[in-house]
Amino acid sequence: MNTALVRKRLVIGNWKMHGTQASNAMLLTGLCAGVAVVHDCDLAVCVPFPYLGQVSASLHGSGISWGAQDVSKHEQGAFTGEVSSSMLTDFGCRWVLVGHSERRTLHGETDTLVAEKALAALKAGITPVVCVGETLAEQEAGRTNEVIQRQLAPVLALGADSVAKMVIAYEPVWAIGTGLTATPEQAQEVHAFIRAQLSELGVPQVRILYGGSVKASNALSLFAMSDIDGALVGGASLVTEEFLRIAAA
């Protein structure tokens, strides 16, 4: 079976630590007004915790879904500053990013912790978007597949039933916010490697997104690759027209 025929494209905007209520309102209004140009694609934004309520209200009924950028592995308790999956569910959150390279690098998140966060999200009915990717040094050393396999191992160990409810995002660290982008062929090679691991587990239908300086100018060529099912978009998701053009590519 050609699984590419049954995987709907997914484009998620990661606002990172950007936004004010005023600027958010302008962006969200623009997205709601322009989403009609997007066909056969699920569109979503992942936003900072303080703006979950604003985004939930602004996007209600628009067809654009939304999520958070992180989640605690704990359900509740004395974990000051943490946000649980049940709190996200309370707002109607659909997606949550786990294991983004910035969390791994700046906060020391391990592969095991990422899997634990993904499991916490699943238990609450939220779809985790599990981020993986190699650094420039690892890429130049020819260790890309080794790194990806290591990062995915604890996640895949959760089993086919759990992984089937996830999204995987391949983000080469060297291409995030640098202006550098993997060529479509480079990205496809890694996506095919990830797909092979998913197929071995029995869940080839899981969507795999590409992230790393995705723009309207390169989205079409990336999406043309057979194993690239969409994008996790950083800076470009803060520009209404650019984000919509990526989703419509």
Contact in structure between 150 and 111 (CB atoms under 8 Å): yes
- Which residue is catalytic, options 109, 134, 171, 242? 171
Helices (H), 133-228: 136-140, 144-156, 160-163, 184-201, 216-223
- The question of whether 100 is a catalytic residue gets the answer yes
What is the Cβ-side half-sphere exposure of residue 100, based on CA atoms within 13 angstroms?
Answer: 20
d(CA 172, CA 181) in angstroms, rounded, equals 9
Q: 84 φ, ψ to 5°?
A: -85, 165
- Beta bridge partners, 47, equal 68
Angle between helices 111-123 and 144-156 (to 10 degrees): 40
Angle between helices 144-156 and 184-201 (to 10 degrees): 30
Contacts of 87 (CB under 8 A, 6+ apart): none
Secondary structure percentages of the chain, helix, strand, coil, to 5: 50, 15, 35
Least Cα distance to 117 among 92, 100, 134 occurs for 100
- Which residue is catalytic, options 100, 102, 116, 191? 100
Q: Which residues are catalytic?
A: 100, 171
